[in-house]
Amino acid sequence: MAILCDCSSVQKGRFFDNQAFHFQTLRAINDVRADGAESGEILETIKHIKEGDTDSWYLAWKRTGNAVLQKAEQYTDPKSRGNALLRAHNYLRTAEFFMDPADPQRESVYKKSTDAFYKGLNTLGVKYEHIKVPYGNHSLNANYFPGPAGSENKPLIVFVGGFDSVLEELYFFIAHNAYERGYSVLTYEGPGQGEVIRKQNLPFTHEWEKPTKAVMDTFLKNHKKHDKIVLVGMSFGGYLGPRAAAFDERFDGLVAYDVGYDFGAVAENATPGIAIWLQKHEFYKTVEFLASVKARFSSTFSWGMKNARWTFNTQDSNETLNAFRKFTLEGVADKIKQDVLILAGAKDHFIPLNQVETFQKNLKNARSVKTIIYDEEFGGAEHCQLGASTLWQADFFEWIKRFESNNSNLNK
């Protein structure tokens, strides 16, 4: 029997009262502009989701993903078929999102989602190159989307995701719309992300300059270097990108989308306050008990805890909190010499807004610093401006255009 959500109690302007469900719905609908979603399909899907119930979330999105996939197989027009495949990818990615990392069904949902994505690109005739990057005993993944004629004279955009990203979704965040503006884009995933964590079990590293160097070294062996290269880090990438840029002078510009100065503070903010005190006084078993209690009553906290332990390869809350604390730009930000664009949402539920000012103060050696904070008026106040992709992209492409005229005063 279908589970219909009771939307009568949901606040106006929201899909769910549950912030995680609301935000992930925004994430799915965010891809409409890039042909990766249809608003009607999404609105019909969430009718079948019970507030805070991850099982109904999975079933509803899986059903929609499979239905759109079936439609794709019936279309003979390449545009219709390709777009349906991309939408199916997005819906199946969304279905997988809240699944337990140990769920045996998770791998098959992920595979079906990624298969639909590449099949969709191929059907549409989108030019791309999938690159395997050697990384010690492992390998990383990158997708290169060459721009149209003349793109070689524009900056190369390098884009990395965050705490729960998959490589494929980065196409919708930047590559599709960058091509329309004449840019080439290199997207990549490193340890802790996408296929790298799912298939190779390689966890995050706070030394993000290492996987980024491997990606850039491999890419530049076979591709002509653009005169300018801009690195964009999304979400948790708001730490990852700046960390990499601090140690790699090949990048001329850096975008923290959104700001991510100190993820230890972010993790502590999500943890019961008494638990932080208990951890500092080494009452680790009590900390674990409190975390398990909160997880029982909060699907958001439960997901975050499981995802962190999976992607950091930690065993308990004490290890996980300590792992997060390594992801700080304290002592690193002053090594960043590039032109920097900082983006932030006024109502970001992950990252406190005060991290913007802290980041700015510590960018002592950056060539220029420009900061944009989005409020609710234009719908960009959420983390990474989800639901308002045209908003942040308009500002980003205005900012990056100045590289083309070699105008280094980018903070105007």
> What would the two tokens of residue 185 be?
């884009």
Residue-range domains of the chain with CATH: 18-123 (1.20.1440.110), 127-262+327-404 (3.40.50.1820), 265-325 (no CATH)
The pLDDT of residue 1:
36
- Give the C-alpha separation, 295 to 293, whole Å: 5
Which one has a higher pLDDT value, 275 or 178? Answer: 178
The pLDDT of residue 277:
65
Q: What does each C-alpha distance from 295 to 305, 317, 321, 363 come to in angstroms?
A: 8, 12, 15, 37
Burial class (CB in 10 A: 0-12, 13-18, 19+), 13: exposed
Q: Give the pLDDT band (50/70/90) at residue 272.
A: low
Report the candidate in 338, 383, 398 with the shortest Cα–Cα distance to residue 365.
Answer: 338
pLDDT, tens digit, for every residue of 67-86? 999 999 999 999 999 999 99
Bin 282: left if φ > 0, else alpha if -120 < ψ < 50, else beta.
Answer: left
pLDDT, tens digit, for every residue of 22-74? 989 999 999 998 999 999 999 999 999 999 899 999 999 999 999 999 999 99
pLDDT, tens digit, for every residue of 207-217? 999 999 999 99
β 185-189/229-234 pair status: unpaired
Cα dihedral across residues 17, 21, 27, 30: positive or negative: negative
Query: What angle is formed at CA 372 by the lines to CA 371 and CA 378, rounded to 5 degrees?
Result: 175
pTM of the model: 0.92
Over residues 161-182, the mean pLDDT reads 95
